[in-house]
A and B are shown apart, each in its own frame.
Chain A
Amino acid sequence: MLRQRCGMTRNDPIKHFFIWPALLIVLVISIFPLIYSLTTSFMSLRLVPPIPPRFVGFGNYVELLQNPRFWHVAWTTTIISFISVALQYVIGFSVALALNRNVPGEGLFRVSFLLPMLVAPVAVALIARQILNPTMGPLNELMTFFGFPNLPFLTQTRWAIGAIISVEVWQWTPFVMLMLLAGLQTLPDDVYEAAALENASSWQQFWGITFPMMLPISVAVVFIRLIESYKIMDTVFVMTGGGPGISTETLTLFAYQEGFKKFNLGYTSALSFLFLIVITVIGLVYLAILKPYLEKHK
């Protein structure tokens, strides 16, 4: 992901002065959550009603793994992340390809395509609620105009998940596009000139040259988006609140409900660690699957 760079490196005691502020801040903020949540995850600890902490070993973990709600929530989060990242990648790559080919008005497109990811997810979710509103929103009016029934966008499971995915796509495709566009601009022109001489079609050029050369960047971008998507919370919190029922609840929202509403600390901590394990496993599997392809194209 990060290219190894060689160059002059110095050895000067002042380097400690440069790095210690950052190191200390991150250490303080990262080690405490780690220690605290790992130790509480092995205890039965509730703030409301207050009961004295008791060591329960893997009790919280076992309880969670036996809770169908955990599996449901993990599955929902996985669906939302995978589908939205796949869509972001496909759309983002297409738009980046177009912008890289000097489409007319490219400058305007660039400014506007940057916007969505700078808008607060909470605000985006509120706007989505307005647009998807069954009686006052424009989307259902459009659907009625074309003869479809009034659709329950936020109150029926499938539609609600679809709505959340669309909002994720709206907000984060620009990020994918931006990264891929930057990558496309570093590709050398001469390969394409050679391919054009051999009369390779654009389709052949894409699969033969562009896609393989963009693979390392693609892998990194999809990885970042996947990890970030698993943390989704504010969009769902505002759009559906996890509803109807718990059908759109995500891992972070579940942890929030257990921790901040029920103050069931041991359980929440165990949940967070399972969450961390899920993310790590998905990341490792993803990188392991793609490794042969990456090496093939080196």
Chain B
Amino acid sequence: MSVRDLKGNGRWWALAGCLLWLAFTFFPLYWVAITSFKSPLGVVGGPTYLPFIDFEPTLTAWRELLSGQRGQFYNTFMASTIVGLSASVIATAVGSMAAYALVRFTFEVRLLTGVIFVVVAFGGYLLGRHIAGYGQAISLIYAFVAALALAIGSSRIRLPGPILGNNDIVFWFVSQRMFPPIVAAFALFLMYTEMGKLGFKLVDTYIGLTFAYVAFSLPIVIWLMRDFFAALPIEVEEAAMVDNVPSWRIFFGIVVPMSKPGLIATFMITLAFVWNEFLFALFLTNSRWQTLPILVAGQNSQRGDEWWSISAAALVAIIPMVIMAGILSRMMRSGLLLGAIK
């Protein structure tokens, strides 16, 4: 008997507590599932709990939903799927590369370079916007390019001041998550609108939404994958280096296959985040690329108390994630995500 086993009564108390929490977790999901099979009369008549005993299940809500009487469900589902899958694939790929670089290579950035970037970007924008009289988007693009060029140029010469290392860069990436998303969502909406005036339509487009999601998933991807890569045994890579295998082949040929579980888990976590995201979708889409959370939230105001159809709509958003929860928990049992929090 290991020290981890509970003895005597404690075991049953712990089990009782877990069961109580299980009931609390499952009841809402059970409720939404049975409500979607209730008839309108069955909902209005007061709560009923057991199908076939309490109430007669019907497929009314699902039939209405699938036949398109309740809004463009098929389109929205496809939009959610396409944006979700592509944003998570791109974010996982780009983020893993950055995470790998941050684990295995040394980066040194002078603090002053960062300061130059921010100052030039701000100054250039204000200059272009209020003195030279360019439009917002144009002055922003100029300011960004100028700031980037100057920052890269300045990193070539030896500047005084403190040096930022790999950990500081990781911190910078992760700290992006602290920024209130409402600020970013609103500003992005305005930037996309300005770009639209220049002829690049970004509001309510595939590219616009996917790009925003990629950018906002990257901090999480880098955070998760960095710990995963750091936990990989380095000997294999060292052996490959002795044989003069180029770094990009070490990464794609050795490291990526070795970290498949981590990549899949990160991909799924990103997918869940994108699939459920509400605020950006609310600002950046209006019809063609509207995602499921927006449609589901809209059911509320449009349909009042038609709970049977609202439940069916909510379930469409929930079910894919339930399947993923099953897969994820399987992977977790093999201790996969342990590395992520150390």
B-binding residues in A (CB < 8 A): 2-5, 7-12, 14-15, 17-19, 21-23, 25-33, 35-39, 91, 94-95, 97-105, 107, 109-116, 118-124, 126-131, 133, 135-138, 141, 170, 173-174, 178-179, 182-183, 185-186, 189, 192-193, 196, 202, 217, 220, 227, 230-231, 233-234, 237-238, 251-252, 255-256, 259-260, 265, 268-269, 272-273, 275-276, 279-280, 283
**In the complex, which residues of chain A have a beta carbon less than 8 angstroms from the beta carbon of B144?**
27-28, 31-32
With A32-B140, A127-B28, A276-B180: A12-B212 Cβ-Cβ less than 8 Å? no
Q: How far is the CA of A67 from the CA of B234 in the complex (A)?
A: 57
Q: Among A29, A141, A178, which residue has its beta carbon within 8 angstroms of that of B188?
A: A29
Q: How far is the CA of A14 from the CA of B96 in the complex (A)?
A: 15
Besides the known contacts A115-B321, A120-B321, 4 further A-B residue pairs in the complex with CB atoms under 8 A apart: A94-B17, A122-B317, A192-B3, A234-B278
Closest to B339 in A: A182
| Contact code string B188-220 (vs A, CB < 8 Å = 1, else 0) | 101100000000000000000001101110110
26 A-B pairs in the complex with CB atoms less than 8 angstroms apart: A5-B103, A5-B230, A9-B106, A22-B218, A28-B144, A30-B176, A32-B191, A98-B18, A99-B18, A103-B18, A105-B15, A116-B25, A118-B328, A120-B278, A122-B293, A123-B32, A127-B28, A127-B32, A136-B44, A170-B24, A227-B177, A231-B182, A234-B293, A238-B300, A272-B180, A272-B182
With A186-B338, A260-B186: A109-B18 Cβ-Cβ less than 8 Å? yes
**In the complex, which residues of chain B have a beta carbon less than 8 angstroms from the beta carbon of A193?**
3
In this assembly, does B66 line the interface, its C-beta being within 8 Å of a C-beta of chain A?
A: no
Q: How far is the CA of A7 from the CA of B18 in the complex (A)?
A: 41
Closest to B3 in A: A192
Nearest-neighbour CB distance to chain B for A57, whole angstroms, equals 15
With A91-B21, A104-B15, A120-B296: A15-B314 Cβ-Cβ less than 8 Å? no
In this assembly, does B74 line the interface, its C-beta being within 8 Å of a C-beta of chain A?
A: no
Nearest-neighbour CB distance to chain B for A142, whole angstroms, equals 9
In this assembly, does B111 line the interface, its C-beta being within 8 Å of a C-beta of chain A?
A: no
**In the complex, which residues of chain B have a beta carbon less than 8 angstroms from the beta carbon of A217?**
341
Nearest-neighbour CB distance to chain B for A155, whole angstroms, equals 14
CB-based contact A182/B98 at 8 Å: no
**In the complex, which residues of chain B have a beta carbon less than 8 angstroms from the beta carbon of A99?**
18
**In the complex, which residues of chain A have a beta carbon less than 8 angstroms from the beta carbon of B305?**
133, 136
**In the complex, which residues of chain A have a beta carbon less than 8 angstroms from the beta carbon of B184?**
29-30, 33
**In the complex, which residues of chain A have a beta carbon less than 8 angstroms from the beta carbon of B104?**
7-10
Q: How far is the CA of A104 from the CA of B318 in the complex (A)?
A: 28
CB-based contact A114/B329 at 8 Å: yes
CB-based contact A182/B299 at 8 Å: no
Nearest-neighbour CB distance to chain B for A184, whole angstroms, equals 9
**In the complex, which residues of chain B have a beta carbon less than 8 angstroms from the beta carbon of A131?**
27-28, 31
* Stretch in contact with the other chain, from B55-63, B246-254, B256-264: B246-254
Nearest-neighbour CB distance to chain B for A119, whole angstroms, equals 5
Q: Among A7, A112, A173, A227, which residue has its beta carbon within 8 angstroms of that of B178?
A: A227
In this assembly, does B64 line the interface, its C-beta being within 8 Å of a C-beta of chain A?
A: no
Q: How far is the CA of A105 from the CA of B19 in the complex (A)?
A: 10
In this assembly, does B283 line the interface, its C-beta being within 8 Å of a C-beta of chain A?
A: yes
